[in-house]
Amino acid sequence: MAVGRDGFVSQASLLRLHHRFRALDRNKKGYLSRMDLQQIGALAVNPLGDRIIESFFPDGSQRVDFPGFVRVLAHFRPVEDEDTETQDPKKPEPLNSRRNKLHYAFQLYDLDRDGKISRHEMLQVLRLMVGVQVTEEQLENIADRTVQEADEDGDGAVSFVEFTKSLEKMDVEQKMSIRILK
């Protein structure tokens, strides 16, 4: 998805996204359902694909229109070097900024949307990610250790600030980039 110096998606990228949206909307309804989004190969093979698909449908809605489709996909747009150099401090942060990508990822873990990732939520997401290769006991140990290491205030859960700090050294900008137009 190409973005101009002003931070907006280029017209060519919008046209390609609209073409992709229409291709996914096989019944020409003007919106996409969860089933339509399951056709995206990158989501079909992603262990968190169902959680990502759910993020297209805030507040339990059953359909996503084109602007909503673009809004969610913007989080996955690769970050270009010039994006950070030309950012106007008066404008809102782009959806694909490091902070917004981390916030999006945090929401994939925060299943009950209470602003914290509990041990139970960490365990549920780990189960999705590793499948059957790891025993339940090993998963519980990983969840315990992950929450303990990130939990700075000792409340037994991981806040967004703690989540962000624990991922400081990770290249989130590249790891959270997918090509959706293919």
Same domain, 66 and 112: no
Same domain for 62 and 129: no
**Rounded to the nearest 10 degrees, what angle do helices 98-109 and 119-130 cross at?**
90
Q: What is the CATH number of the domain that holds 146?
A: 1.10.238.10
Residue 135 domain flag: yes
Domain presence at residue 123: yes
Are 73 and 180 a contacting pair, CB within 8 Å? yes
Q: Which of 40, 45, 43, 50 is nearest to 124 (CA)?
A: 50
Task: Give the DSSP letter of residue 91.
Answer: S
Same domain, residue pair 66 and 128:
no
Give the domain range for residue 131.
98-181
Does the residue 114 lie in any domain?
A: yes
Looking at the structure, do residues 51 and 116 belong to the same domain, yes or no?
no
C-alpha separations of 39 from 26, 148, 182 in Å: 11, 37, 12
The pTM is what?
A: 0.76
d(CA 164, CA 158): 10
* Separation CA 66–CA 30 (nearest Å): 8
- Please check whether residue 42 lies inside any domain of the structure: yes
Residue 84 lies in a domain: no
End-to-end CA distance of the chain: 11
Ordered per-residue pLDDT tens for the chain, 182 residues = 444 334 456 788 889 899 999 999 999 999 999 999 998 888 888 888 888 898 899 777 899 999 999 888 888 777 664 444 555 667 777 877 888 888 988 998 999 989 999 999 999 988 888 877 788 899 999 999 999 999 999 999 999 999 999 988 777 766 666 555 54
